[in-house]
Amino acid sequence: MAEYPTALGASTRDTITLLGHDLARDVMGEVGFGELAFWLATQRRPSKGETRVFEAVLAALADHGFTPTAITARLTYLSAPDSVQGALAAGLLGGGSRFLGVTEDCGRFLHARLDGRQLPADDDGWDAIALEVVAAQREAKRFIPGLGHHVHKDGDPRTPRLFQIAHEENLEGPHLKLFAAIGRVHPRVLGKTLPLNGAGVCGAALADLGLPMELLRGFALLARTAGLIGHLAEELRNPVANEIFLSVDLNNVSVPPGGTHG
């Protein structure tokens, strides 16, 4: 007979444990939600500093107003108000490569560049690696994930703040250091200055926290779940989804089939 091991939730008639601890006594009322999410993902309890950096990342990614994911969640709630789970799930499904993917892409990109490399002792050493990395991307005609922002052209305010928090908590690891160095050196290679964006710095920070690379996008989605609940709550107070729907539907133009092919 197959057996299925897990270190997460378990219960008997009298007890409930989570991660090997008594849920009621040791977790409820004792462990914050960000701390718990980190613990569930890594199966090790984070320090206060790690929790602060992690929660700062979640705050940075929780909501950006009327993104496609927020519009989608609101429209789905309009169509199927009986299914809150469907509205949240539909919103999360937009969390793919384009709109929420930068966090994961940047974390993985930095991780791959650091793999097997001797870590330098000072900023000059990091700059040397960063120059090599930026030049290689340029050579390959590829963008550097996390570099550039279509709105915050002079700098994304989340970036220096997250560096500062990581610094305060003594948690600036190699991913953040390489990302900072890319920010310093890229103008020398690319001939223009681009901002390090907030989604990217979040990916670097999550990677430095030792979270699994394969799930970096998952933390952006966790943050976004809170944001989407905010949108549904606002939709209850002050609905706009029907107006969004009508703004599209009433401006539809019927065209003959078989037109331009992309």
Among 67, 103, 137, 197, binds its own copies (CB under 8 A): 67
Determine the Cα–Cα distance for residues 18 and 27; give it in Å rounded to an integer. Answer: 8
Based on the shown chain and the rule CB under 8 A, indicate whether residue 232 belongs to the binding site for its own copies: yes
Whole-number minimum distance, CB 48 to its own copies, in Å? 11
Tell me the two tokens of residue 148.
Answer: 């550039």
Based on the shown chain and the rule CB under 8 A, indicate whether residue 92 belongs to the binding site for its own copies: yes
Based on the shown chain and the rule CB under 8 A, indicate whether residue 197 belongs to the binding site for its own copies: no
Neighbouring residues of 196: CB distance < 8 A, sequence distance ≥ 6: 146, 147, 156, 159, 179, 180, 182, 183
Determine the Cα–Cα distance for residues 244 and 249; give it in Å rounded to an integer. Answer: 9
Among 125, 161, 173, 190, binds its own copies (CB under 8 A): 161
Based on the shown chain and the rule CB under 8 A, indicate whether residue 96 belongs to the binding site for its own copies: yes
Determine the Cα–Cα distance for residues 74 and 234; give it in Å rounded to an integer. Answer: 9
Whole-number minimum distance, CB 100 to its own copies, in Å? 8
156 class by beta-carbon count within 10 Å (0-12 exposed, 13-18 middle, 19+ buried): buried
Q: Which range binds its own copies by CB under 8 A, 105-113, 119-127, 138-146, 241-249?
A: 241-249
Longest dimension (CA), the chain: 67
The interface with its own copies within residues 45-64 (CB under 8 A) comprises 52, 54-56, 58-60, 62-64
Cβ closest to its own copies, residue 76 vs residue 129? 76
Cβ closest to its own copies, residue 153 vs residue 188? 153
Q: Where are the alpha helices (DSSP H) in 142-240?
A: 158-168, 174-190, 198-208, 216-237
Whole-number minimum distance, CB 252 to its own copies, in Å? 5
Based on the shown chain and the rule CB under 8 A, indicate whether residue 162 belongs to the binding site for its own copies: yes
Token look-up 């206060």 returns 48
Would you give the binding string for its own copies spanning residues 98-127, x where CB under 8 A is met? xxxx--------------------------
Tell me the two tokens of residue 155.
Answer: 């700098």
Whole-number minimum distance, CB 133 to its own copies, in Å? 24
